[in-house]
Amino acid sequence: MSQIRFRIGHNWKREEPGPGGPRDEFALELEGINLLPGANDEPLVRIITGLIDTVSALVIDGERAGQLSLEDVHLELCLWRTHGHDVQASVIDLSAPPRQVRAPITIDLGALVEAATKCARNFLRDVSQHREALETELVALERKVKRLGEVVLEERSVRDVSAWSAVRSAGSGASGESCIGFSLRDDDGRTQAWSRKTRAGLPPLLFDGELTHTIGAIKSGHPFLQMMGLARAATEGQAIFEGQKIAPEVVFVAGLELCLALRTRNPSLAANPYVEALQVRCTDGLTALRQPIPDTSVATVNVPRATAPGIPLAPVGELRRVGLQARWSRPAALGEDGGQILLLKKGLVVHSPHAAHAFTARGETAFRHLSPRGVGVSPSGLVLCSTPDRLTCFQGKEPLWFRDHDGGRPGARLDEVDGVLLTLYGRRTAAGLSVLTGREIWRFEPPRTQTMTFSRIGGRALIGTDGGTLYGLDISDGQVRFRVKAGLPVVRPAVAAGKRAIITLNRGEHSAIYLCDALAPGTTTPAGAIVWTRELILSTPGTPVTARGKSWVSGARDGRTFVVCLGPKGQVLWEKTVACDARSTRLIAFEGGVIACDARGAAVRLLPDGSTEWVLGSSGDELNHAIEPLLRRRTLIVPGPVTRLVQPRGGRVVGELSTGARMLDLTADSKMTITVLREPGSIETFVPSRALAVVP
């Protein structure tokens, strides 16, 4: 049996670890040969935690595939469990071009478990001197190592899966141009091993086969990896197949055909991140080939006056208690899990990506529209439904217009600005439609983009991409007025700060925030001009909030959640740790300071100088996703398993509402009528029934 060993470097022991913990060499040695060359500066806490998770997936969860990512050197350690205790280990290099570094090596699962747990225990022993800064991560790692070490290996019989193959001919296209074909062979059921719960996305795609070309050239190996490399090169216009230069459109079409073949074999592969990335790259590449160059001239757009978050109530005394009474409850027919609430002038609408169900103020059904290709809803009540070949706009129950379209899926939320209906198609396309006729006025698809953020400031749409570019578009005609490029991805929608916008960038533990002139006319100040930039050591930054010339942003550092306050010139005024979960922290500005809340119902108020005024503990289990806190009639509504109404000045709880951990959304109107959406689609409204106040 081959001797396997995971080894980490020792230099980190003599240095003070930076943010995120120590970094050093990480190696996988088999008979003294390192299978992971170049991994010399890896975040050890993340790598070792990922190693234990990968091995646990094979041993405890019964998965056939495991994957450990070394992102800094673009290496992926792919594990594939065969019959008995045998595991195939492959090392894949995802840099240009993607390739298999070494042929698969068979190792014993018991030896793999022993080597992984030994490496983790040695690291936990050596890192004890830095334990205070990494307490959360190390406690979780210790628990996982203990569980893995107590598992008794069992003979798991792998269910028989019939062999599968797919072929696409490389014959000439309709116009006689060259084509790329492929032959896929999956003899051991890799493509069927992927499900939406599987963490390892690459091993199920390492099936055998070859790519073929019209001229007769053949490339054998892993066709999915080869197609990834060709698509990446085609984006740069440098696709080469066995010495023959290929048109980008040919590569993109073949890539989409390959994704279609995999999704036909296993529909769950549509959610595989690598399949999705290839499909996105090919789709965007074909779109970019047809995309016109936008006009970047400057236009003047008036900024609307900002509105208050709620209507203040003139109190006769200090509010001490508010009771909430159920008004009505109805099932919301959404046709799927999930959904959001949108308040209308005369009622509300509950909508999901594929359905919209509207109710009157008395709880009666106003209308319901369903479409498997996507449904969007605007604040005025317009509903946009998509079918494979038709787009229909409804105003209430009655259709307003319909037109043919290309089958794109409209986003769940629409926006109306000066007769233009804004919608998002998928995650990478924005479009403006005429409200009256449905004519597509403009469409914008940023190149080389997999995901984008979208927000609106006045008559200008701000689109940020994962490539780090911010685009400012005039909503009236879709023309790009400015571009701002950065080295980090845009991870949050732009936030309005008067005529300016605050943009959040992040990759790993490195974040940056900058302020730009989003609505500048371009006379004295160019549109998109940067006012200030501030780099921060934060991971998972939240959406910033701004008020009175200050800005606040939350994020994680060293396992703790921080709130950072920035001044009018971007200077850091103060940083404060808060007892909230960084992944779900939401901020709301209040009287020169800020209030932080999370999905557990915990809340903290920070004064303008950064001092803590009050702290509210969690109210139970964490919600499935964070819901924004609300400020209505001088009362803070903190969503959680038990939604609480809190005095923002003193932190006193004045009302409670048991909403449960399965709450999907919550909103409240100016009269503090609270509407709650629960799984699997139950809508309930509550109104204030009584109030107790102390009169001075």
Answer whether residue 127 is part of any domain.
Answer: yes
If asked whether residues 267 and 130 sit together in one domain, one would say no
Contact 91, 35 (CB under 8 A): yes
Whether 14 and 128 map to the same domain: the answer is yes
Tokens linked to 82:
């065969």
Residue 144 sits in the same domain as residue 175 = no
**Domain identity same for 126 and 196:** no
What number is the average pLDDT over the span 33-43? 84
- E-strand stretches of 222-302: 240-241, 244-245
Do residue 136 and residue 29 come from a single domain? yes
Domain annotation covers residue 155? no
| Last residue within a domain, chosen from 386, 409, 432 | 409
Instruction: State whether 48 and 73 are in the same domain.
Output: yes
Half-sphere exposure of 360 (CA within 13 A, CB side): 4
Closest CA to 150 of 56, 43, 244: 56
Whether 303 is covered by a domain: the verdict is no
Within-domain flag for 310: no
**Which of 362, 383, 409 is the endpoint of a domain?**
409
User: What are the tokens at 357?
Assistant: 């169900």
Helices of type H across 7-106: 44-59
Domain assignment present for residue 185? The answer is yes
Same domain, 10 and 143: yes
Whether residue 461 is predicted with pLDDT greater than 60 in this model: the reply is: yes
Closest CA to 663 of 688, 645, 638: 638
Buried b (16+ CB within 10 A) or exposed e, 324-336: beebeebebebbe
What is the rounded distance in angstroms from the CA atom of residue 301 to the CA atom of residue 274? 41
Query: Would the CA dihedral through 581, 582, 586, 590 be positive or negative?
Result: positive
Q: How confident is the model at residue 608 (pLDDT cuts 50, 70, 90)?
A: confident
Asked whether residue 493 is domain-assigned, the answer is no
Q: How many structural domains are present in the chain?
A: 3
Residue 262 sits in the same domain as residue 353? no
Residues 180, 136 within the same domain? no
CATH of the domain at 382: 2.40.10
Burial class of residue 140 (count of CB atoms within 10 Å of its CB; 0-12, 13-18, 19+):
middle
Cβ burial 464-486 (10 Å sphere, 16+ → b, else e): bbbbbbbbbbbbbebbbbbebeb
Q: How many whole angstroms separate alpha carbon 6 and alpha carbon 12?
A: 16
Assess whether pLDDT exceeds 70 at residue 337: no
| Three-state secondary structure of 135-188 | HHHHHHHHHHHHHHHCCCCCCCCCCCCCCEEEEECCCCCCCCCCCEEEEEEECC
- Other beta carbons within 10 angstroms of residue 177's beta carbon come to 12
pLDDT band at 294 (very low <50, low <70, confident <90, very high): very low
CA distance 467 to 487: 8
CB 315 within 8 A of CB 634: yes
Domain presence at residue 46: yes
Confidence at residue 173, expressed as pLDDT on a 0 to 100 scale? 52
pLDDT at position 161 is 67
How far is 517 from 260, CA to CA, in rounded Å? 43
pLDDT over threshold 90, residue 666: yes
**Rounded Cα–Cα distance for residues 15 and 613 (Å):** 38
Last residue of a domain, one of 149, 175, 204: 149
Residues 16 and 64 in one domain: yes
Q: Is residue 468 part of a domain?
A: no
- 21 in the same domain as 141: yes
Are both 142 and 259 inside the same structural domain? no
Residue 352 belongs to domain spanning = 347-409
Q: What is the pLDDT of residues 481-520, one digit of tens each?
A: 899 998 899 999 999 998 899 999 999 888 999 999 888 7
In the prediction, which pLDDT does 646 show? 92
pTM (two decimals): 0.56
- Dump pLDDT digits (tens) for 564-590: 999 888 888 888 999 899 999 999 998
Question: How far is the C-alpha of 8 from the C-alpha of 24, rounded, in Å?
Answer: 7
The pLDDT of residue 494 is 94
